[in-house]
Amino acid sequence: MNMREKLDKIWDDISSYIVANPQELEAFRIKYLGSKGLLKELFTELKSVPNEQKRDVGQLLNNLRIKTEGLFHELKEKLSSTVTDEGTVDYYRPGNEEPIGARHPLSMVRSEIIEIFSRIGYTVSEGPEIEDDWHNFSALNFPPEHPARDMQDTFFVEKGEKEMALRTHTSSVQVRVMENSQPPIRTISPGRVYRNEAISARAHCFFHQVEGLYIDKNVSFADLKQTLLYFAKELFGEKATIRMRPSYFPFTEPSAEVDVSCTICNSKGCNVCKHTGWLEILGCGMVDPNVLEASGIDSKTYSGFAFGMGIERIAQLKYKVNDLRLYSENDVRFLNQFTSEI
């Protein structure tokens, strides 16, 4: 290999040298342009070149030095243009892992409730959030003088000549299901509902519900109790128990409030359960015959039960969140706590 071929090969190595940061640039300078670098050695070897070749070889070496110095300054300028306030950008480093989002705690609880009831044959039904009086009140056995019809509880909406309302419960979806299908009916209706209430840590003008409905022949209160006991154990653990207290709802008779044993203190009494050992989770009851008849179902042949719960209430018990406003304020500090729940 003659000197020209040797220098061409050296230039190929130099020009293909990869520099990604100041440390690698300094290594390049030392290797090729330093006092003990490759080019210095080549100029030292020039003494041993025959006199008749020194002129040509010297020119080749000088051109190689000029190109190498030019490449060095070019790489240096390129690196300086990539320097930011945070330091040097290293394009060969692995990329930073982008933070992933998290599902909203209410969405997670909603999905968990749906999944639990789907295992025992319940389907999901949905309906409009702006409802007429029939589906939101009258078909559910609300008498004309019932206080829930008052402006202080309901958001009314004018739609042409017809007065509508933002639904106050997802029971309106159950009415639509009963009107458009025949028993057996087994469905749950999750969705957002609205109440004209002052916003505070314990109340909001909108919240989320899941209501369930089961209609068939010979459905009894015992079926209702067993269904809710199954739900409580699936959601809160095998040790969970429930109790029922008499209550009143226009669309069910008899009606009951359901409490679950406090899983925080194991029913021993704590601040969360107010030292009672129980936590209220939902309301329920046997569907009133008037509701069945209003929806076109023969109440002498069929019976059924219904239940409803607030998703925020279940999430409060599950995640110990005591301020309902946190669910809708989109505070990243709050939402990031649920990233690991995905």
**248 and 220, same domain (yes or no):** yes
**259 and 330, same domain (yes or no):** yes
Q: State the pLDDT at residue 160.
A: 72
The CATH number of the domain where 296 resides is what? 3.30.930.10
**118 and 251, same domain (yes or no):** yes
**121 and 25, same domain (yes or no):** no
**109 and 241, same domain (yes or no):** yes
Helix axes 51-81, 3-15, angle to 10 degrees: 10
> Per-residue confidence at 89, pLDDT binned at 50, 70, 90?
low
Q: Minimal CA–CA distance to 214: which of 104, 125, 337, 339? A: 125
> Per-residue confidence at 59, pLDDT binned at 50, 70, 90?
confident
Q: Is residue 178 part of a domain?
A: no
Tell me how long the chain is: 342
Residue 77 belongs to domain spanning? 3-88
State the total domains in the chain: 2
How far is the C-alpha of 73 from the C-alpha of 67, rounded, in Å? 10
**109 and 81, same domain (yes or no):** no
**190 and 295, same domain (yes or no):** yes
Q: Is residue 163 part of a domain?
A: no
Query: 39, 58, 88: which is the final residue of a domain?
Result: 88
Angstrom distances, CA of residue 274 to CA of 86, 249, 256: 52, 25, 20
Model-level pTM? 0.67
Tokens of 140: 């559910």
Q: Is residue 256 part of a domain?
A: yes
**332 and 209, same domain (yes or no):** yes
**112 and 240, same domain (yes or no):** yes
Tokens of 12: 């190929």
Q: Is residue 94 part of a domain?
A: no
**215 and 336, same domain (yes or no):** yes
The string of pLDDT tens digits covering residues 130-157 is: 999 899 999 999 888 877 777 568 888 8
Q: Is residue 313 part of a domain?
A: yes
